[in-house]
Amino acid sequence: MDQLTPGEKYSPYRVFSAEHWAQFRADTPLTLTEDEVRRLRSLNDPVDLDEIRRIYLSLSRLLSAHVEASQLLFQQRRIFFNSDNEVRKTPFIIGIAGSVAVGKSTTARVLKELLQRWPASPKVDLVTTDGFLLPNDVLRRDNLMERKGFPESYDVGALLRFLSAIKSGQPNVQAPLYSHMTYDVLPGTYVTVDRPDILIFEGINVLQPRALPPDGTFVPFVSDFFDFSIYIDADESMIHQWYIDRFMRLRETAFKDPESFFHRYSQLSEDAARAMAEGLWENINLKNLKENILPTRPRADLVLRKGQNHLIQEVALRKL
């Protein structure tokens, strides 16, 4: 059975059309302008104010309810434990997962802007898992360059230490930064996350579980630190086309920079570049999608399913 099929008897999700979902916006105000949305969206992603109204205002309202419920539970626990008044609520963490080229970055940036414009003006930070990739020198040494983005290409220990520090309420926690220009982690360069109210944590494999130890030793998953998780979904054929289209656009833009790791692709003919993109999709990104990313979809609290035009067609929300 497909758990995301509307009306599926045994599904843990409620599935809504985009039009139905838009009705849940209620009185949530639209606080973004078209120019701001244009700045937030990624290459080849057509999200606009209409999409913000249809999907993201309702999602912002839902997340507001979850954050408020989490804060209320925190207050009730503090009373239960007779805790000191100086104890503060730790950040509410939202995980965003999905394939390359599916639009995770746009969703993360739009949500960050909407959430921090709530009346309470919460502090919202955004961190991606790219900075937690192992450096290219290490990947080459371990023969993993063609597995970049697969679970084994990340410094999982650093990921877990970062999220543990965030959830422990530690101040000034550092996350490493990544350059898409050099296609590598930037050595000694970090972004500092200082006790935000909400942290958005975005990456292709953030819902990936790990092998469980036979002796029952506690081994946390990255997603164990999430308070809410979102999976961006689309048919494989669509993601394939979006990846190829993005690659060909980058060939005409960012790849032309001599400093770009992919500069050599800008020198290829159009046919040769397209063939290269198809090879990268088939041998790396499609394998990762099938083996590691798509199997994590049922672990999400909410699934945003896109249609041919890169816009959301359905929303699946896990039942309480």
- The residues pairing with 316 across neighbouring beta strands, listed in sequence order, are 15, 303
Q: Is residue 222 in some structural domain?
A: yes
SS3 236: helix
Domain that holds residue 28: 13-318
Say what the pLDDT of residue 85 is.
66
Q: Is residue 8 in some structural domain?
A: no
Instruction: Decide if 124 contacts 115 (C-beta within 8 A).
Output: yes
Q: Is residue 85 in some structural domain?
A: yes
> How many domains, in total, are found in the chain?
1
Instruction: Decide if 291 contacts 149 (C-beta within 8 A).
Output: no
Q: Is residue 304 in some structural domain?
A: yes
Say what the pLDDT of residue 41 is.
86
Q: Is residue 117 in some structural domain?
A: yes
Q: Is residue 92 in some structural domain?
A: yes
Say what the pLDDT of residue 8 is.
67
Instruction: Decide if 312 contacts 239 (C-beta within 8 A).
Output: no
DSSP assignment letter at 133: B
Say what the pLDDT of residue 219 is.
79
Q: What's 280's domain CATH number?
A: 3.40.50.300
Q: Is residue 7 in some structural domain?
A: no
Cβ neighbors of 26 (< 8 A, separation 6 or more) are: 61
Q: Is residue 163 in some structural domain?
A: yes
State the Cα–Cα distance between residues 66 and 43, nearest whole angstrom: 31
Per-residue pLDDT of the chain (320 residues; tens, 9 = 90+): 466 776 667 899 999 999 999 999 999 999 999 999 989 988 778 889 999 999 999 999 999 999 999 999 999 988 898 877 667 889 999 999 999 999 999 999 999 999 999 999 999 999 999 999 999 999 999 999 999 999 999 999 999 999 999 999 999 999 999 999 999 999 999 999 999 999 999 999 999 987 777 888 887 899 999 999 999 999 999 999 999 999 999 999 999 999 999 999 999 999 999 999 999 999 999 999 999 999 999 999 999 999 988 999 999 999 99
Say what the pLDDT of residue 106 is.
94
